[in-house]
Amino acid sequence: MMARLELLGGFSLSSQAQTVVVPAKKNRALLGILALAPHCEVTRDRLAALLWSDRGEEQAKNSLRQALVTLRKDFVALDADLLVSKGDRLALDRHLVTVDVVKFLGASASIDPTELRLAAELYKGPFLDGLSALDNAFEDWLRDARADLNARAIKVFSALAKSVAGLEGIAIAERLIALEPLREASHIALMEAHISLGQAALAIKQYETYKLFLKRELGAEPTEELEKLRRSLDGASERHFKGEATSSDKPVIAVLPFANMSGDKEQQYFSDGITEDIITELSRFRSLYVIARNSSFQYREKAVDVRRVASELAAEYVVEGSIRKFGNRLRITAQLIDASTGNHLWSERYDRDIDALFELQDELTRTIVATLTGRVEDAEISAAVRKHTGSLAAYDKVLRGIEHIRGWGTDENRLGWELFEAAIALDPHCALAHAYRSLSLLLEHDFENAPQTIKDEAIDGALTAVRLDAGGAQRPSGTKYYPTR
């Protein structure tokens, strides 16, 4: 059974069966040094000098011997010794362990887009992230190693940015900016990705953000290349705003996160969940283009000017509102705003028993769509609005589960999975519960690295969700309904 050593973005050693704890920092550092060495081999003298440079030669060697004894005890859980002695050299046994940084180095040297995507997927963060304050010699070595790997990652993402477009292009460019925030070419890549999707307003916003950042950090101004790109966008956002740049007459609508007025921050999941449900329901109508959740949720818990937000998102209409949950009662206020004038086209307050939540969501969706289009067929509305099975308890657990799996941590994801399981037990016909349970299974087992049995179980759950809610299987490309990480 192969062990897996992950050093990019932190430290993790595991087998298919379990995670192995390596508590000693210097032992984790030792494995990192071996992983980056040619053929994963290093002399004992080199290891001692890097990790115990403040000690005499003999004392450093003794410390190394003690560290190896401890490390091999950690390996007992794997039923294998991952270290091989080759005379005065130590090596990782490549027949027993795979190393993410070794795979990354190989894939990053390729020009094949498939290999580059693999390298991008492997680079989850700085090498041995969080490991520091061990030894001056090691700190110097670690700084150089991180810088080299970061530079390779920038080359990988830069190459990908030139060969992809759309939402993938935006994701790649955002990773580039995270790697080196002051690098102008990364911001240009993100602007161009937004432009390719017709998001001139977002491209302009990115330019303004970078310009301010550059001024604050370096006291510098953007280059002529970036200024030229910015000038090319003059009028583009306004043309889109007026509908002149779109190929259809679909109104563009942004649903801002509904404010949680319950006085309890732990109820935020409820407000977010209902907002996302409204976004998802509106996205089912072919007569509307709905701004993606990722874009509109950047304004959560912020005081916003609706007209400015609409300009930044290139939206013609904005929905905003609030939710207050008290006991078994629910109050939802909502309003629809014409972004070009700032005028309220419609507003309403609903005081209902919480058991009527699903009917209220359907009513909100119908009203917004009818107000926008004026000619939406009743039959189309009825077909597009999701039919809930009526279990509020199950729905509440789904919303709580979604909030947990956005937390990234293994424990958080497991809590989410348990909530989806509980929701299915309460309501076996809840499509969302089946869909998110499948997603949490893949998250738990690292997606493509999941055992085939887990993949099969996740696929079965996803297909069950589609059968239960066939209308939800096809969503417009402008919307997303999955956890953002």
Angle ∠(148,152,154) on CA atoms, nearest 5: 115
Residue that is last in its domain, among 361, 384, 407: 384
Measuring CA to CA, how many Å separate 306 from each of 158, 219, 282, 413? Answer: 35, 32, 19, 35
Looking at the fold, whether 260 and 351 belong to one and the same domain comes out as yes
Looking at the fold, whether 454 and 408 belong to one and the same domain comes out as yes
Q: Does a structural domain hold residue 404?
A: yes
Tokens 């110097």 sit on residue: 140
Q: Does a structural domain hold residue 329?
A: yes
Looking at the fold, whether 23 and 128 belong to one and the same domain comes out as yes
Looking at the fold, whether 415 and 337 belong to one and the same domain comes out as no
Which CATH number does the domain housing residue 463 bear? 1.25.40
237 Cα distance to chain centroid: 27
Residue that is last in its domain, among 321, 356, 384: 384
What one-character DSSP code corresponds to residue 233? T
Which CATH number does the domain housing residue 74 bear? 1.10.10.10
Looking at the fold, whether 218 and 282 belong to one and the same domain comes out as no
338-372 burial code (b ≥16 CB/10 A, e <16): bbeeeeeeeeeeeeeeeeebbebbbbbbbebbeeb
Q: Does a structural domain hold residue 263?
A: yes
Looking at the fold, whether 370 and 405 belong to one and the same domain comes out as no
Residues of the chain with pLDDT under 50: 237-249, 373-389, 471-485
Q: Does a structural domain hold residue 478?
A: no
* 3-class SS of residue 235: coil
Looking at the fold, whether 276 and 338 belong to one and the same domain comes out as yes
Looking at the fold, whether 399 and 450 belong to one and the same domain comes out as yes
Token pair of 168 as six digits: 């993938």
Q: Does a structural domain hold residue 318?
A: yes
H-run or E-run covering 424 = helix 410-426
> CA Rg, the chain, in Å?
27
Looking at the fold, whether 296 and 331 belong to one and the same domain comes out as yes
Which CATH number does the domain housing residue 360 bear? 3.40.50.10070
Residue ranges making up the domain that contains 215: 165-241
Looking at the fold, whether 24 and 96 belong to one and the same domain comes out as yes
Looking at the fold, whether 216 and 278 belong to one and the same domain comes out as no
Structural domain total, the chain:
4
Could you count the other beta carbons within 10 Å of the beta carbon of residue 174? 16
Q: Does a structural domain hold residue 158?
A: no
What per-residue confidence (pLDDT) applies to 407? 57
CA distance 386 to 243: 29
What per-residue confidence (pLDDT) applies to 417? 87
What per-residue confidence (pLDDT) applies to 391? 65
pLDDT tens digits along 21-35: 999 999 999 999 999
